[in-house]
Structure 1
Amino acid sequence: MEKDLFSAIKRMVSEKDVKGLSMLALSETDRAAVDAAITALARVGNDEAVDELISFLSVEDAYLRNEAIEALQLLGARAFDRVAALLKWEKPDLRIFALNALKEMKDLRLRGLIRHVLEVETDPNVASLAVECLSEVGSGEDVVLLEAVARRFPDPYVRFAVDAARRRLE
């Protein structure tokens, strides 16, 4: 990454130029520059920066999407409510990206949120990831919910995820 670009990113952080950092992340082809722009957005960390990071979850570029997920994870509680709201998105892939960000936030509200997702989710892939998340933050009392999920989704992968989670929680 060139020195001028690094200086520009540093300036944009000090000025809280979220749009500039976002445009840089979207337009750069150098992964180091993309990393720096995404990290800078996380460093700014205000609501506008969180919204920009969330907007990257919809892009086709998997690298940019994954970097945004990691940045949202680092923001933790500052991003939790906004990312949790994404679980109402229509597209299952976007709900999966939201769960991937949330599961690393280690927020005390995560267990209740995951339980709610498992009660209402209609997509087996999202449900499987939510089962995995619950296995990390749940307890033995969540086994009943997990079994209900397995009955609702007769998918072998969901059954596998439920069995693995149950073993972990019991």
Structure 2
Amino acid sequence: MGLVKAGSKGTLGTAPTGAAAPEDWTALLEHADAGHRRHAAQALGDRPDAAATLAARLPREPDPAVREALLTALVRIGSPEAAAGLAPMLASEDAGLRNGALESLQQMPVDAVEPQMDALAGSDDSDLRIFAVLLAARLGPAERSARLHQALERDPHVNVGLTAAEAVAELGDPAALPALEAFAARFPDDPCVAYTVDAARRRFRGAS
């Protein structure tokens, strides 16, 4: 997905024939023609007040190019409201929408996304807690370590811990070793846990 990084304005190109006036971009998101909807999404990426409108269109948008334009517009806005609009998409049964929302949130400013992490981390759904771990890996060192170590030490689902273990290994965080050992002790009979923790240990030794 060719998303635009937060802060990038991009280009809108030429409006489709018969496109609405700028003040009508929101209404144009519901146009029957996909080209009109795509151009409207691009234009609304310059309007922070349109974040909720863009997010609301996403689950109903059948055209892949328009969906990408909607996601790109939300990344360009990059506000807490845009992140709040995307976070519910992580629970969608549509894998494409789920992945697009996650990739978009990962490109947004950390301060816009961080408010969504607490809700995700506290969810009863282990898949949403995994998304919280993936987003936490982008935080600053102190906050990132706190969230990842907590997942390793306390999360009851092994896949959440495995995601956190892979994240701390990728980040090269030797301070995570006690949390990794605690994770291994909680799932002593799981071969995936043993392999992942041992790979992290070896990686940390190689980096020292």
Give the alignment's TM-score, normalised by structure 1: 0.88
Aligned position for 2:134: 100
Partner of residue 113, structure 1: 147
The one-letter code matched in structure 1 to 2:191 is P
Q: Distance in 2 between matches of 1:141 and 1:23?
A: 41
- Counterpart-to-counterpart distance in 1, 2:110 and 2:36: 33
Coordinate RMSD, CA, aligned: 1.9
TM-score, structure 2 normalization: 0.74
- Per-residue CA deviation, residues 58-111 of structure 1 (Å, 9 max, x unaligned), is 1111111111111111114123422431211111011112222332x2533212
Listed as ranges, the gaps of 5+ residues in structure 1 are none
Shift of 1:138: 4.5
Is this contact kept in 2: 1:12–1:20, CA < 8 A?
no
User: Structure 1 residue 156 and structure 2 residue 191: aligned?
Assistant: yes
130-139 vs 118-127, greater mean Cα deviation: 130-139
Higher helix share: 1
Return closer, same or farther for 1:79/1:46 CA change in 2, 3 Å cut-off.
Answer: closer
Cα distance 1:49–1:80, how it changes in 2: closer, same or farther (>3 A)?
A: closer
- The whole-number CA distance in structure 2 between the counterparts of 1:83 and 1:20 is 19
Return the offset for 1:11: 3.5
Instruction: Tell me the distance in 2 between the aligned counterparts of 1:13 and 1:122.
Output: 39
Change (3 A) 1:118 1:161: same
Bigger radius of gyration among the two: 2
Equivalenced residue count is 169
- Percent identical residues: 34
- 1:62 maps onto 2:101 in alignment: no
Q: What is the CA–CA distance in structure 1 between the aligned matches of 2:36 and 2:72, rounded to whole Å?
A: 17
1:15-62 deviations in Å (ceiling 9; x for gaps): 331232113211112212111101111111222111011111111111
The residue aligned with 2:36 is: 4
Letter in 2 for 1:88: G
How far off its partner does 1:147 sit? 1.6
Q: Which runs of 5+ in 2 are unaligned?
A: 1-32
1:21 to 54, 69, 73: 54
Query: Which deviates more, 136-145 or 45-54?
Result: 136-145
Residue in structure 2 matching 1:52, options 81, 85, 98: 85
Shift of 1:166: 1.2
